[in-house]
Amino acid sequence: MAEGKVWVRRDREKPLRQKHPWLFSGAIAHAEAAQDGELVAVYDSRDRFLARGYWNSKSQIQTRILSWRDEAIDAAWWRRMLSQAIARRDLPAEDTACRLVNAENDYLPGLIVDRYGDWLVVQALTRAIDARKEKIADALLDLTGIPNIYERSDVEARQREGLSEAVGALRGAEPPATLAIKQDGIRYLVDMRRGHKTGFYLDQRDNRCLLRELAADCPKGARLLNLFSYTGGFAIAAGSGSHAVHVDSAYSALGLAEANTALNKIPAANAEFIQADAFDYLRHCVGAGERFDVVAVDPPKFAAHKRQIQRAARGYKDLNLHAFRLVKPGGWLMTFSCSGAISRELFQKIVFGALVDSRRRAQIVRQLGAASDHPVALTFPEGAYLKGLLLRVD
């Protein structure tokens, strides 16, 4: 198919020159023969080549950039980019799960690929990736030798691209109901078909390891509150030395948290699974005078857009205020926000506000982010969605 052409408005060229990969509709002066899902060459106002990307008129981000060089975006290009992304991962050999392609951050806008054992799970977030997913699957199969490739393109972002959901096997077999993966010596069951994201929160890997270290230094039987537990991640990583209270609103997630507890030989008596709204449960604990050595707070995204920031900030403040109240003096709070619209600075301010109201004192011991298989392109600050704080609370 013939390549289209796009001209950028002169006053909007700078981010593109600085290699930001998104070109919004308002930045485009004019387009010629651009077709949804197809390649376009991008020119500046003086008709000089700037970059090459793909087009979708239905999206606000009308062009996503693939290359700033005047090069062919052909099968060899895709293969090279996929191969480079995969080669960047250097995880322990015993590990069977990791993110292989982190979309814009691996210079492949709109494409996510996660590995779980003998399965790859692909998310095609844009029309151009959707149109090329069969070829991408062929290249992935060839590069990794992993025989089963499953698609989990059931994400809201696709609506903005004019796409419906797509779920199913691209290559090989359908995934089992759950698959046991191994990360840092810990085993987790992953539901690739119905689980969140592609099945597991791979981004929290390093923070789980950190929590394991903290728990190891706590006295035996230390109490750990795992709010928004999903399938148990943080408390499973902490192991059998502590008593974990997992809280999640989703019954199915708690079922897997319980199964993960058994899988890692954590005695059943050392874990509780509570289906509840985390906000309510926190209030209940404060009312009952409960105390924990470690509290982990890892809520879902509260702000999907800038206009939801205020409401999200109230949610984060409420959670952290009550969480502070529950931490034993000298204990730990590990708290997160995965809302892209909330900056690290703002998140810290919100947590500070919660601390003031709780009348406690706390130290930031670490700034937290996503694991190293979720790199963030420095040219793409939007990629740094996950931010967290490890706080010692007095």
Q: Which is nearer to ligand SAH, 86 or 259 (CB)?
A: 259
DSSP-assigned states of every residue in 74-97: SHHHHHHHHHHHHHH----TT--E
In the block, tokens 């703002």 appear at 346
98 is catalytic: no
Please, what is the minimum distance in Å from the beta carbon of residue 271 to ligand SAH?
Answer: 15
* 3 state DSSP class of 306: helix
Q: Which is nearer to ligand SAH, 34 or 190 (CB)?
A: 190
Rounded Cα distance between 385 and 8, Å, is 28
CB of 59 to ligand SAH, least distance (A): 27
Give the C-alpha separation, 282 to 327, whole Å. 11
Q: Nearer Cβ to ligand SAH, position 229 or 337?
A: 229
How far apart are CB 206 and ligand SAH at their closest, in Å?
12
Contact residues: ligand SAH, CB under 6 A: 201, 204, 228-231, 233-234, 247-250, 253, 277-278, 298-300
116 or 228, CB closer to ligand SAH? 228
Residue whose CB is less far from ligand SAH, 158 or 246: 246
Residue 377: CA atoms inside 13 Å, Cβ hemisphere, count?
A: 18
CB atoms within 10 A of CB 213: 10
d(CA 49, CA 131): 25
110, 125 in Cβ contact below 8 A? yes
| Smallest gap from residue 302 Cβ to ligand SAH (A) | 9
Report the amino acid identity of residue 198.
Answer: T
Q: Which of 98, 218, 285, 338 is catalytic?
A: 338
- What is the smallest separation between the CB atom of 254 and ligand SAH, expressed in angstroms? 9
Are the CB atoms for 232 and 255 separated by under 8 Å?
Answer: no
Least Cβ distance, residue 345 to ligand SAH (angstroms) = 23
CB 102 within 8 A of CB 114: no
Tokens read off for 293: 């050595």
CB 138 within 8 A of CB 107: no
Pick the closest to residue 81 from 131, 11, 129 (CA basis).
Answer: 129
Evaluate whether 16 touches 50 at the Cβ level (below 8 Å).
yes
Give the chain's end-to-end CA distance (angstroms, integer).
64
Q: Which residue is nearest to ligand SAH (CB)?
A: 233
Angle between helices 309-326 and 278-287 (to 10 degrees): 30
Nearer to ligand SAH, 56 or 260 (CB): 260
C-alpha 95/C-alpha 27 separation (Å) is: 43
Pairwise CA distance, residues 48 & 304, whole Å: 36
CA gap 317, 342 in Å, rounded: 13
Q: How far is the CB of 300 from ligand SAH (least distance, A)?
A: 4
Q: Which is nearer to ligand SAH, 91 or 131 (CB)?
A: 91
Q: Which residues are marked as active site? A: 338
